[in-house]
Amino acid sequence: MTAVAIAPQAATKTRSNRSRLAAIAVAALVGIVVIYKVTRGQNVPTWLDLHVQKNAQSAYHWVTQNTGKNWALRATKWFGDALKWGVERTVTLLRWLRWTGVLAVVFAVGFIRAGLRTALIGTSVMFCVGLFGFWDKTMITLAIMLVAVVISMLIGVPLGIWSGLSDRGEQLLRPVLDTAQVMPAYVYLIPLLSLFGIGFAPAVLATVIYAVPPAVRLTSLGIRQVPVVTTEVGRSYGSTPRQLLGKVQLPMARSTVMLGLNQALMMAFGIVVIASLLGTNDVGNEVLKALQKSDIALGFSAGFCIVFVAIALDRITADVGHPRGLPTWAKSKRTLWIAGAVLVVGAALFGKVFDLPVFPAWRLDIGSWAKSVIDWINDHFRHGVPLVGGTGTVSDFIVRDVLFPLRGMLQSAAWWLVVAVAAVTGWWVRGWRLAMASALCFVGIAAMAEWDLAMDTLSQVLVAVVVSMSLAIPIGIWVGRSPMLEKVLRPVLDTAQVLPQFVYLVPVLFLFNVGPTPGLIAAVIYAIPPGIRLVALGLREVPAAPREAAISYGATPGQELLKVQLPLALRAIMLGINQVILMVLATVIIAGLIGGGGLGLEAVSGLTKPNLRLGDGAAAGISIVLLAVFLDRVTQAWGNRFGYDDEHK
Amino acid sequence: MTSIGAVGDTNSSISVRGLWKVYGPKPDRIVGSELADLPRKQLQTETGNVVAMREIDMDVAPGEVFVVMGLSGSGKSTLIRCLTRLIEPTAGTVMIGDVDVTKAGKEQLLDVRRNRVSMVFQHFGLMPHRTLTDNVAFGLEVRGVDKVERRKHAEQTLELVGLSGMGTYRPHQLSGGQQQRVGLARALATDADILLFDEPFSALDPLIRRDMQDEIVRLRREVNKTMVFITHDLSEALRLGDRIAIMRDGRFVQVGTPETVVVEPADEYVENFVRDVPRSFVVPVEHVMRDIDESAFAGTVTVGTKVRDIVKLVATSDLPVQVVDDSGRGVGCVDRVHVLALIAGVEE
Q: Tell me the pairing of strands B299-302 and B99-100.
A: unpaired
Does the structure show a pLDDT above 50 at B96?
yes
pLDDT at A392: 74
Query: Can you tell me the distance from the alpha carbon of A419 to that of A408, in angstroms, rounded to the nearest whole number?
Result: 16
Give the A:B interface size as CB pairs under 8 Å.
Answer: 65
The answer to whether the Cβ–Cβ distance between B138 and A252 falls below 8 Å is no
B124 has a chain A CB within 8 A of its CB:
yes
Cβ-based neighbours of A223, under 8 Å, separated by 6 or more: A160, A161, A164, A165, A249, A250, A253
The answer to whether the Cβ–Cβ distance between A230 and B127 falls below 8 Å is yes
Query: Can you tell me the distance from the alpha carbon of A359 to that of A137, in angstroms, rounded to the nearest whole number?
Result: 12
Over pLDDT 70: what percentage of chain B? 97
Query: Can you tell me the distance from the alpha carbon of A198 to that of A190, in angstroms, rounded to the nearest whole number?
Result: 11
- How far lies A237's CA from each of A560, B14, B150, B224, in Å? 50, 18, 14, 20
Which residues of A are less than 8 Å from B84 in CB distance? 236
CB A264 within 8 A of CB A281: no
pLDDT at A39: 80
- Find which of A237, A247, A248, A319 to mutate to test the B interface (most B CBs within 10 Å of its CB): A237
Q: Tell me the pairing of strands B330-334 and B321-324.
A: antiparallel
What is the pLDDT averaged over residues A136-142?
90
Query: Can you tell me the distance from the alpha carbon of A302 to that of A125, in angstroms, rounded to the nearest whole number?
Result: 14
pLDDT at A1: 38
Q: Give residue A570's pLDDT band: very low, low, confident or very high (50, 70, 90).
A: confident
Listed in sequence order, the DSSP H helices in A294-431 are 296-317, 333-353, 366-381, 391-397, 404-412, 415-429
Instruction: Please classify residue A450 by burial: count the beta carbons closer than 10 Å to its beta carbon, then call 0-12 exposed, 13-18 middle and 19+ buried.
Output: buried
SS (H, E, C) A14-53: HHHHHHHHHHHHHHHHHHHHHHHHHHCCCCCCHHHCCCHH
Three-state DSSP state, A271 = coil
For the segment A411-452, what is each residue's pLDDT rounded down to a tens digit? 888 888 899 999 988 988 888 899 999 999 999 998 888 888
Which residues of B are less than 8 Å from A250 in CB distance? none
Listed in sequence order, the DSSP H helices in B71-165 are 76-83, 106-111, 132-136, 138-143, 147-160
- How far lies B189's CA from each of A28, A230, B160, B186, B236, in Å? 73, 18, 10, 5, 24
Q: Which residue of B has its CA nearest to A231?
A: B125
Does the structure show a pLDDT above 50 at A3?
no
pLDDT at A49: 79
- Residue A88: its H or E element: helix A71-114
Q: Tell me the pairing of strands B251-256 and B117-120.
A: unpaired
pLDDT at A6: 44
pLDDT at A85: 92
B129 has a chain A CB within 8 A of its CB:
yes
Q: Tell me the pairing of strands B330-334 and B65-69.
A: unpaired
CB A441 within 8 A of CB A627: yes
pLDDT at A245: 92
Instruction: Please classify residue B190 by burial: count the beta carbons closer than 10 Å to its beta carbon, then call 0-12 exposed, 13-18 middle and 19+ buried.
Output: buried
Which residues of A are less than 8 Å from B190 in CB distance? 237
DSSP A198: S
**pTM recorded for the entire structure:** 0.77
Does the structure show a pLDDT above 50 at B149?
yes
Q: Give residue A319's pLDDT band: very low, low, confident or very high (50, 70, 90).
A: low
Q: Give residue A649's pLDDT band: very low, low, confident or very high (50, 70, 90).
A: very low
Cβ-based neighbours of A240, under 8 Å, separated by 6 or more: B110, B142
- How far lies B73's CA from each of A232, B42, B248, B249, in Å? 19, 17, 8, 7
The DSSP string of B284-347 is BGGGT-B----S--SEEEETT-BGGGGHHHHHH-SSPEEEE-TTS-EEEEE-HHHHHHHHHT--
Query: Can you tell me the distance from the alpha carbon of A303 to that of A439, in angstroms, rounded to the nearest whole number?
Result: 40
CB B251 within 8 A of CB B51: no
Q: Give residue B5's pLDDT band: very low, low, confident or very high (50, 70, 90).
A: very low
Does the structure show a pLDDT above 50 at B2?
no
For the segment A290-300, what is each residue's pLDDT rounded down to a tens digit? 877 878 888 88
Query: Can you tell me the distance from the alpha carbon of A593 to that of A259, in angstroms, rounded to the nearest whole number?
Result: 32
What is the pLDDT averaged over residues A223-227?
89
Task: Select from B86, B127, B142 the Cβ nearest to the Cβ of A252.
Answer: B127
- Find which of B106, B121, B136, B202 to mutate to test the A interface (most A CBs within 10 Å of its CB): B121
| Mean pLDDT across chain A | 82
pLDDT at A17: 73
A425 has a chain B CB within 8 A of its CB:
no
A473 has a chain B CB within 8 A of its CB:
no
CB A205 within 8 A of CB A234: no
The answer to whether the Cβ–Cβ distance between A243 and B142 falls below 8 Å is yes
A321 has a chain B CB within 8 A of its CB:
no
Task: Select from B114, B125, B130 the Cβ nearest to the Cβ of A238.
Answer: B114
Q: Give residue A159's pLDDT band: very low, low, confident or very high (50, 70, 90).
A: very high
Which one has a higher pLDDT value, A545 or A456? A456
Across A177-186, A340-349, B131-140, B333-342, the highest mean pLDDT is recorded for B131-140
Length of chain A: 649
What is the pLDDT averaged over residues A122-132?
89
What is the pLDDT averaged over residues B35-44?
82
CA of A306 to nearest chain B CA: how many angstroms apart? 36
The answer to whether the Cβ–Cβ distance between A236 and B138 falls below 8 Å is no
Which residues of A are less than 8 Å from B124 in CB distance? 229
Cβ-based neighbours of A622, under 8 Å, separated by 6 or more: A52, A187, A444, A448
CB B100 within 8 A of CB B260: no
Does the structure show a pLDDT above 70 at A236?
yes
Q: Which residue of B has its CA nearest to A251?
A: B129
Q: Give residue A14's pLDDT band: very low, low, confident or very high (50, 70, 90).
A: low
| Mean pLDDT across chain B | 85
Query: Can you tell me the distance from the alpha carbon of A312 to that of A610, in angstroms, rounded to the nearest whole number?
Result: 36
Q: Give residue A513's pLDDT band: very low, low, confident or very high (50, 70, 90).
A: low
Which residues of A are less than 8 Å from B141 in CB distance? 247
The β-bridge partners of B21 are B53
Segment among A443-457, B3-17, B69-83 with least mean pLDDT = B3-17
Q: Tell me the pairing of strands B226-231 and B194-198.
A: parallel
CA of B292 to nearest chain A CA: how many angstroms apart? 53
Q: Which of residues 151-210 of A touch B (CB under 8 A)?
A: none
B142 has a chain A CB within 8 A of its CB:
yes
Which residues of A are less than 8 Å from B113 in CB distance? 235-238
Pick the closest to residue A238 from B341, B256, B20, B116 (CA basis): B116
Cβ-based neighbours of A324, under 8 Å, separated by 6 or more: A115
The answer to whether the Cβ–Cβ distance between B143 and A238 falls below 8 Å is yes
The answer to whether the Cβ–Cβ distance between B127 and A232 falls below 8 Å is no
Query: Can you tell me the distance from the alpha carbon of B93 to that of B16, in angstroms, rounded to the nearest whole number?
Result: 6
CA of A256 to nearest chain B CA: how many angstroms apart? 13
The answer to whether the Cβ–Cβ distance between A230 and B114 falls below 8 Å is no
pLDDT at A27: 86
CB B309 within 8 A of CB B278: no
A232 has a chain B CB within 8 A of its CB:
yes
CA of A226 to nearest chain B CA: how many angstroms apart? 10
* A24 C-beta neighbours (distance < 10 Å), count: 11
The answer to whether the Cβ–Cβ distance between A238 and B139 falls below 8 Å is yes
The torsion of the CA quartet A234, A238, A240, A241, rounded to 10 degrees, works out to 30
The β-bridge partners of B227 are B65, B195
- Residue A182: its H or E element: helix A167-182
Handedness of CA B203, B206, B207, B211 (dihedral sign): positive
Does the structure show a pLDDT above 60 at A635?
yes
Query: Can you tell me the distance from the alpha carbon of A529 to that of A496, in angstroms, rounded to the nearest whole number?
Result: 7
Q: Give residue A158's pLDDT band: very low, low, confident or very high (50, 70, 90).
A: very high
Task: Select from A232, A236, A247 the Cβ nearest to the Cβ of B141.
Answer: A247
Does the structure show a pLDDT above 80 at A495?
no
Query: Can you tell me the distance from the alpha carbon of A230 to that of B95, in angstroms, rounded to the nearest whole number?
Result: 26
- How far lies B301's CA from each of B271, B298, B311, B312, in Å? 30, 10, 12, 13
Angle subtended at Cα A162 by Cα A161 and Cα A168, rounded to the nearest 5 degrees: 145
Which amino acid is residue A302, in one-letter code? A
SS (H, E, C) A157-172: HHHHHHHHHCHHHHHH
For the segment A168-191, what is each residue's pLDDT rounded down to a tens digit? 988 888 888 877 777 777 778 888
Q: Give residue A7's pLDDT band: very low, low, confident or very high (50, 70, 90).
A: very low
Segment among A33-42, A198-207, B127-136 with least mean pLDDT = A33-42
CB A171 within 8 A of CB A231: no
Which amino acid is residue A345, in one-letter code? V
Angle subtended at Cα A551 by Cα A548 and Cα A557, rounded to the nearest 5 degrees: 115
Q: Which of residues 235-274 of A touch B (CB under 8 A)?
A: 235-240, 243, 247-248, 251-252, 254
Q: Give residue A123's pLDDT band: very low, low, confident or very high (50, 70, 90).
A: very high
pLDDT at B3: 37
Query: Can you tell me the distance from the alpha carbon of B76 to that of B82, in angstroms, rounded to the nearest whole number?
Result: 10
Task: Select from B118, B129, B130 the Cβ nearest to the Cβ of A237.
Answer: B118
What is the pLDDT averaged over residues A551-576?
81
Does the structure show a pLDDT above 80 at B51?
yes
pLDDT at A458: 92
Q: Which residue of A has its CA nearest to B191?
A: A237
Segment among A148-152, A348-352, A446-450 with least mean pLDDT = A348-352
The answer to whether the Cβ–Cβ distance between A238 and B127 falls below 8 Å is no
Query: Can you tell me the distance from the alpha carbon of A205 to that of A193, in angstroms, rounded to the nearest whole number?
Result: 10
Does the structure show a pLDDT above 70 at A612?
yes
What is the pLDDT averaged over residues B128-136?
88
The answer to whether the Cβ–Cβ distance between B127 and A235 falls below 8 Å is no
